[in-house]
């Protein structure tokens, strides 16, 4: 069993503002959603992709520091892989922490911590294969856009520490203007995020959020593209 | 070690940082090393063929203990009592075996993913009497991961070297997890599991020079080997420092890795590989020595009377006692039987006999097999193979059997000579060697296949002989019926044309080339079933012994979706299926269907026949399996009341962009060079495009100022297939499959038919030419000769009327020979006023 911490992250110089509540949803937030993730197949004889349907499911609630954290479990809906992840999600405050991943490789289980017990409003480099990138749009009701920078430091040991400064842009797309470009059907506004690493211009994360979801509805990175295809068992129309 | 690694190691010696004392270092290695294996190149198709080429070898090299012929997939099929060489084996031969593939194409991604995800097989096993080597188990695991989804962790196009650095440390040291590196910067792809690293660095101001040596698994060990040997690759990069933090990175050496990735999910490349079966094999062990040894799956076959039929022409067995096999053979086949006895420790004898009991004594004893040479068969027979265990085998290996059948087979999946129908045929030996022809007629009805033999007028065909006539002229004692088809076995190439005619029902012709090869995937490109039109299909099983499972899957003409109604049936060995589409599918399906994909688990041949219900119009097209990215419709007449339609089908799983260019008879764009017309459109996966040339261009672009349109060229990003249909709207309807430039020839022959004219397309020509037409009688005497009336320019198309060139068609003409100094595409248009068809040119 491998429980070693892999991401001793220290946040310094964070210019992020903790923004409460993106807008109270009229209905309870969904507690079960499926993220279809498209990965490349790196075979030389054909170009193709493969889809994995990751089921995100609320398993319980944990009370920490006066807040209710949802215990989310992620697993393959089709059970083609036994790998699982669990994390805590604050659906109201838009934070994530305690990301643990459990993978079955070479005939044994391996467990590791991908994010410590340290609340974050962004989490861009999850270890493992699942689409656990997270960045909260942070647009309170009425606010149309936000632009910011944030810095992540990762201790690698032996005196090595990597510091990455990200640029963050979020903008609201009102329901009546987004027309057909919004992707999955959403009630109300959607919010688009683009996060870039100025030192690696080709490196970016694109996310789409809708107001009635505690998780993004689309996420596109250089590694894969992912989108929510069902919510509480109901398919999401494109 | 591959080329990239060598290059990198040389560069490391030149890097100035190497001279400096290190300011820091770190190393890590995962606790369970990924296993070494083999990358199974596509040029060998080794999982099916058994070949195992070392990377450095230009030709297949068999490892000293390898079975040579029997690959892991043969064993897989026998272990589970599948049809030998079934879907798994066939798929691999079609998709993962290509002697012309790029030399570096292979299974390195599947091996690398399997090596980091699966436990290493370290011992051979046995399942249902089949012995599995370590190499067999590793091969199956490799294929089981060949289609894995990949989580890319570092991509050199997006990420700086510091991300590479960070990913290595986090995965290998912190997570104790191996990952995969794609190491080659050229177009080649070389994936390796990376399981350890040694980093050293020196700081120079705000720059940290890093040299990282990766420990990689080896992909070119003998398939059976186990062990912990590894190879290394070294990369240099500079990390940019700011305030002591690493804030960026760039490569300082000439080489750098392309990707770091991890496998997301196990997905076989070969869709017929079953994961549970693979792990049943991988988990198998050799029974303890005290346990009795399981015999093979064809026991009890210990006497001649109990001889087991050798289905599929291959077998893996055990010689614990005598084994007997029956092997059916057909006249015209050249048959050898190979007994691979090297791996078993029994003293054995192998005897091959004719059904009469006469022993076939010709044999060659090689290092790993005995080859019994029966030679060319002149009659249908059933051989008896006797394997005698002089001393029973005591080890757990298998012997192999393989029936090698050589020779050519040609197919005409429909013959008619009753109820007003007639078949006219031409057969031609294009080679310089006299050849014997063996005719096999199969009378087929539902539930019945009956072999027929008739006296042949042409039991042999001398070199370059072309013989023509009605069916009764070829087989004087043939009976009349419409329920038979014909297969011809030869040792040489044979070409031919068959023409169906029904003179009493308005009169019409439909021609079909003699089909030279079957396929497991055929495309039924045209269908029309309504108050006016009928469409029929004939499909013959090329295997005379084993049944073929066939499925017809229609696709929607509008959205290319698979229609729910499919038709599946079994065609017995030597059997033929024939029916009208209207009797096979519901009217609703036929109204929606654009085309039909035919799949079979054995090679089949066939054609479609269609016409109007009054038979005023009538034509046939072979069911197609050839595809191409560049196609030509060399004749698309639009003048004198003619119409031309084109049907294109994209049978692949991905969309493509198709461009159709209209050309005039000179080969120029019919709309001129300054304002050329081209029709481009998207053809989605499984989608069909059908339109008439007038609507495609004249409705779209107006009358062509440099027209009329005489032919079209077609290009596509993916391989597509298609055909052309044209007619006069009244009594003439002609069709032909689209051609490619590879179909061009410099000379050819047509069996003479009244009304024959040649359509000559000089698109493939390299210079302007005159075409010579010669008339010959049946004894090869030259009767008339002449040249095309005008020079034929590159790219132009001409319709040549032999009667005009010769002045008159000479009496006694048997065939027309055409020749040209340059390669041309040539079609024969037979227009007899009220009936017409298009025939392809035979070789010269």
Instruction: Give the pLDDT mean for B310-315.
Output: 88
Enumerate the β-bridge partners of residue B552: B567, B598
Residue in chain B nearest A4 by alpha carbon: B174
Q: Where are the alpha helices (DSSP H) in B650-701?
A: 693, 699-701
Q: Do the chains contact at B106 and A129, CB–CB below 8 Å?
A: no
pLDDT at B217: 96
Closest C-alpha to B550, from B606, B594, B473, B494: B606
Chain B closest-CA separation from residue A137 CA (Å): 24
Closest C-alpha to A136, from A184, A92, A177: A92
Report B:259-298 residues touching A (Cβ under 8 A).
259, 261-267, 269
* B383 vs B103, residue with greater confidence: B383
Q: Does B236 touch chain A (CB under 8 A)?
A: no
- The count of other CB atoms within 10 Å of the CB of residue A131 is 26
Residue B174 has what DSSP assignment? Answer: I
Q: Which residues of B touch A103 (CB under 8 A)?
A: 177
Q: Which residues of B touch A5 (CB under 8 A)?
A: 174
Q: Which residues of B touch A81 (CB under 8 A)?
A: 264-266
Q: Do the chains contact at A43 and B269, CB–CB below 8 Å?
A: yes
- Model confidence at B577, pLDDT cuts 50, 70, 90, reads very high
pLDDT at A46: 64
State percent of chain B over pLDDT 70: 95
List pLDDT tens digits, range B441-472: 999 998 899 999 999 999 999 999 999 999 99
What is the domain partition of chain B in residue ranges? Answer: 3-35+159-265, 304-406, 408-622, 744-844
Question: What is the radius of gyration, based on Cα positions, of chain B?
Answer: 32
Strand pairing of B231-242 and B567-571? unpaired
List pLDDT tens digits, range B489-506: 999 899 999 998 887 655
- Would you give per-residue pLDDT tens digits along chain A (238 residues)? 333 333 333 332 232 223 333 344 457 889 999 999 999 998 876 668 899 999 999 999 999 988 999 999 999 999 999 999 999 999 988 999 999 999 999 999 989 998 888 899 989 877 889 999 999 998 887 888 999 999 988 888 877 899 999 999 999 987 655 444 444 444 578 899 999 988 877 789 999 999 889 999 999 998 889 999 999 999 986 5
- Model confidence at B10, pLDDT cuts 50, 70, 90, reads very low
pLDDT at A175: 66
Enumerate the β-bridge partners of residue A111: A102
Number of H helices and E strands in chain B, helices first, is 14, 51
Residue in chain A nearest B275 by alpha carbon: A80
Instruction: Give the pLDDT mean for B184-194.
Output: 89
Is the pLDDT confidence value at B52 over 80? no
Q: Tokens in use for B164? A: 């590479």
Closest C-alpha to B320, from B235, B396, B432, B401: B396
pLDDT at B258: 93
Peptide bond into B512 cis (omega under 30): no
CA distance A52 to A223: 14
Q: Does B15 touch chain A (CB under 8 A)?
A: no
Contact A49, B267 (CB under 8 A): no
Q: Do the chains contact at B32 and A106, CB–CB below 8 Å?
A: yes
Is the pLDDT confidence value at B814 over 50? yes
CA distance B216 to B196: 7
- The count of other CB atoms within 10 Å of the CB of residue B180 is 30
* B350 vs B392, residue with greater confidence: B350
Give the mean pLDDT of chain B: 91
Chain B closest-CA separation from residue A33 CA (Å): 20
What is the domain partition of chain A in residue ranges? Answer: 8-235
Is the pLDDT confidence value at B17 over 80? no
- Model confidence at B51, pLDDT cuts 50, 70, 90, reads confident
Q: Which residues of A touch B102 (CB under 8 A)?
A: 44
pLDDT at A65: 85
CATH fold for the domain made of B744-844? Hypothetical Protein Tm1070; Chain: A (2.60.290)
pLDDT at B441: 97
Put residue B234 in one of left, alpha, beta given phi > 0 → left and psi -120 to 50 → alpha.
beta
3-state DSSP assignment of residue B169: helix
pLDDT at B61: 61
- CATH number listed for the domain at residues B304-406: 2.60.120.380
Least confident of B72-81, B315-324, B724-733, B776-785: B724-733
Length of chain B: 844
CA B402: distance to chain centroid?
A: 22
Q: Do the chains contact at B158 and A156, CB–CB below 8 Å?
A: no
Residues with Cβ < 8 Å from A179, sequence gap 6 or more?
A: none
CA distance A96 to A107: 30
Strand pairing of B576-580 and B334-340? unpaired
Report B:175-214 residues touching A (Cβ under 8 A).
175-177, 182, 189, 191
Is the pLDDT confidence value at B290 over 80? no
Best residue in B45, B155, B158, B203 for a mutation probing chain A (most A CBs within 10 Å): B158
Peptide bond into B300 cis (omega under 30): yes
pLDDT at B119: 96
pLDDT at A238: 55
- The count of other CB atoms within 10 Å of the CB of residue B336 is 19
Chain B closest-CA separation from residue A191 CA (Å): 25
Residues with Cβ < 8 Å from B228, sequence gap 6 or more?
A: B33
- Model confidence at B825, pLDDT cuts 50, 70, 90, reads very high
Closest C-alpha to B687, from B525, B513, B552: B525
Instruction: Give the pLDDT mean for B93-113.
Output: 90
Instruction: Give the pLDDT mean for B211-233.
Output: 91
pLDDT at A127: 82
Length of chain A: 238
- Model confidence at B653, pLDDT cuts 50, 70, 90, reads confident
Instruction: Give the pLDDT mean for B120-141.
Output: 95
pLDDT at B613: 85
Contact B47, B92 (CB under 8 A): yes
Question: What is the radius of gyration, based on Cα positions, of chain A?
Answer: 18
Is the pLDDT confidence value at B193 over 60? yes
């Amino acid at each position: 069993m491998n429980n070693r911490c892999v991401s001793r992250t220290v946040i310094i110089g964070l210019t992020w503002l903790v923004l409460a509540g993106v807008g109270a949803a009229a209905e309870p937030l969904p507690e079960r959603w499926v993220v279809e993730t498209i990965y490349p197949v790196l075979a030389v004889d054909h170009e193709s992709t493969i889809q994995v349907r990751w089921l995100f499911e609320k398993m319980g609630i944990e009370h920490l520091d006066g807040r209710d954290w949802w215990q989310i479990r992620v697993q393959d809906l089709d059970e083609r892989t036994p790998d699982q992840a669990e994390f805590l999600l604050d659906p109201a405050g838009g934070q994530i922490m305690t990301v643990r991943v459990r993978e079955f490789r070479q005939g044994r289980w391996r467990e590791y911590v991908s994010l410590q017990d340290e609340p974050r409003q962004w989490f861009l480099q999850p270890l493992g294969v699942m689409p656990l990138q997270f960045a909260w749009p942070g647009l309170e009701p009425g606010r149309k856009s936000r632009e910011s920078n944030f810095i992540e430091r990762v201790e690698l040991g032996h005196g090595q520490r990597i510091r990455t400064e990200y640029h963050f842009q979020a903008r609201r797309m009102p329901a009546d203007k987004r027309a057909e470009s919004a992707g999955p059907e959403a009630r109300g506004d959607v919010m688009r995020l683009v996060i870039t690493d100025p030192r690696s211009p080709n490196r970016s994360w694109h996310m789409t959020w809708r107001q009635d979801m505690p998780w993004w509805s689309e996420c596109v990175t250089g590694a894969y593209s992912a989108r929510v295809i069902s919510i509480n068992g109901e398919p999401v129309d494109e | 070690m591959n080329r990239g690694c060598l290059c990198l190691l040389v560069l490391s010696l030149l890097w100035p940082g190497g001279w400096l004392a290190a300011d820091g270092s770190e190393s890590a290695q995962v606790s369970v090393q990924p296993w070494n294996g083999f990358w199974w190149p596509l040029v060998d198709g080794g999982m099916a063929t058994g070949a195992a080429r070392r990377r450095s070898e230009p030709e297949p090299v068999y490892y000293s203990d390898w079975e040579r012929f029997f690959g892991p997939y043969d064993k897989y099929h026998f272990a589970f009592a599948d049809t030998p060489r079934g879907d798994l084996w066939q798929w691999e031969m079609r998709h993962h075996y290509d002697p012309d593939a790029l030399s570096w194409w292979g299974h390195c991604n599947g091996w690398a993913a399997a090596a980091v995800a699966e436990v290493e097989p370290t011992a051979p096993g046995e399942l249902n009497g089949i012995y599995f080597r370590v190499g067999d188990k590793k091969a199956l695991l490799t294929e089981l991961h060949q289609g894995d989804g990949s989580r890319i962790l570092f991509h050199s196009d997006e990420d700086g070297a510091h991300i590479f650095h960070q990913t290595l440390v986090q995965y290998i040291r912190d997570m104790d997890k191996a990952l995969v590196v794609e190491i080659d910067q050229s177009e080649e792809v070389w994936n390796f599991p990376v399981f350890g690293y040694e980093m050293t660095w020196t700081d120079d101001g705000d720059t940290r020079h890093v040299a990282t040596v990766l420990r990689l698994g080896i992909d070119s060990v003998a398939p059976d080997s186990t062990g912990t040997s590894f190879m290394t690759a070294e990369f240099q990069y500079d990390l940019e420092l700011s305030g002591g933090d690493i804030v960026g990175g760039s490569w300082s050496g000439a080489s750098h890795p392309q990707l770091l990735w991890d496998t997301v999910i196990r997905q076989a490349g070969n869709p017929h590989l079953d994961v549970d079966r693979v792990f049943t094999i991988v988990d198998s062990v050799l029974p303890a020595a005290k346990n009795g040894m399981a015999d093979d799956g064809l026991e009890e076959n210990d006497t001649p009377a109990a001889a087991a039929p050798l289905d599929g022409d291959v077998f893996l067995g055990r010689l614990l006692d005598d084994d007997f096999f029956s092997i059916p053979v057909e006249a015209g086949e050249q048959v050898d039987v190979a007994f691979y006895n090297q791996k078993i420790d029994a003293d054995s004898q192998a005897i091959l006999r004719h059904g009469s009991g006469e022993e076939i004594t010709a044999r060659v004893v090689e290092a790993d097999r005995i080859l019994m040479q029966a030679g060319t068969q002149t009659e249908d027979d059933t051989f008896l193979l006797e394997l005698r265990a002089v001393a029973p085998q005591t080890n757990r290996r298998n012997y192999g059997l393989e029936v090698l059948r050589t020779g050519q087979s040609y197919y005409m999946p429909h013959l008619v000579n009753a109820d007003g129908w007639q078949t006219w045929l031409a057969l031609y030996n294009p080679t310089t060697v006299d050849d014997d022809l063996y005719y096999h007629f199969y009378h087929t009805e539902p539930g019945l296949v009956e072999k027929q033999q008739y006296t042949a007028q042409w039991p042999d065909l001398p070199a370059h002989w072309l013989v023509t006539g009605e069916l009764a002229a070829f087989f004087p004692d043939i009976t009349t019926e419409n329920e038979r088809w014909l297969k011809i076995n030869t040792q040489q190439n044979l070409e031919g044309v068959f023409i169906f005619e029904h003179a009493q029902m308005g009169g019409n012709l439909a021609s079909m080339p003699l089909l030279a090869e079957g396929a497991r995937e055929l495309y039924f490109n045209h269908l029309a079933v309504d108050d006016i039109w009928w469409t029929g299909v004939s499909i013959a099983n090329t295997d005379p012994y084993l049944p073929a499972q066939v499925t017809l899957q229609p696709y929607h003409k509008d959205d290319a979706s698979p229609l729910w109604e499919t038709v599946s049936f079994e065609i017995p060995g030597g059997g033929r299926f024939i029916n009208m589409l209207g009797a096979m599918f519901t009217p609703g399906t036929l109204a929606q269907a654009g085309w039909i994909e035919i799949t079979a688990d054995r090679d089949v041949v066939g054609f479609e026949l269609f016409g109007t219900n009054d038979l005023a119009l009538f034509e046939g097209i072979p069911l197609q399996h050839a595809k191409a990215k560049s196609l030509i419709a060399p004749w698309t007449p639009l003048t004198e009341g003619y119409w031309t339609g084109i049907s294109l089908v994209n049978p692949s799983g991905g969309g493509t962009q198709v461009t159709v260019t209209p050309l005039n008879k000179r080969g120029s764009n019919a709309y001129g060079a300054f304002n050329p017309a081209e029709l481009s459109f998207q053809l989605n996966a499984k989608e069909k495009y059908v339109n008439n040339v007038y609507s495609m261009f004249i409705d779209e672009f107006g009358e062509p100022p440099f027209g009329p349109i005489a032919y079209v060229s077609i290009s596509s990003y993916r391989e597509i297939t298609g055909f052309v249909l044209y007619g006069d709207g009244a009594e003439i309807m002609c069709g032909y499959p689209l051609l490619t430039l590879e179909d061009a020839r410099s000379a050819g022959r047509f069996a003479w038919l009244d009304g024959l004219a040649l359509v000559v397309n000089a698109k493939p020509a390299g210079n302007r030419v005159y075409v010579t037409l010669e008339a010959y009688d049946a004894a090869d005497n030259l009767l008339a000769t002449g040249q095309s009336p005008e020079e034929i320019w590159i790219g132009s198309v001409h319709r040549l009327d032999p009667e005009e060139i010769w002045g008159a068609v000479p009496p006694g003409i048997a065939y027309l020979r055409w020749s040209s100094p340059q390669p041309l595409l040539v079609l024969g248009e037979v227009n007899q006023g009220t009936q017409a068809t298009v025939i392809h040119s035979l070789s010269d």
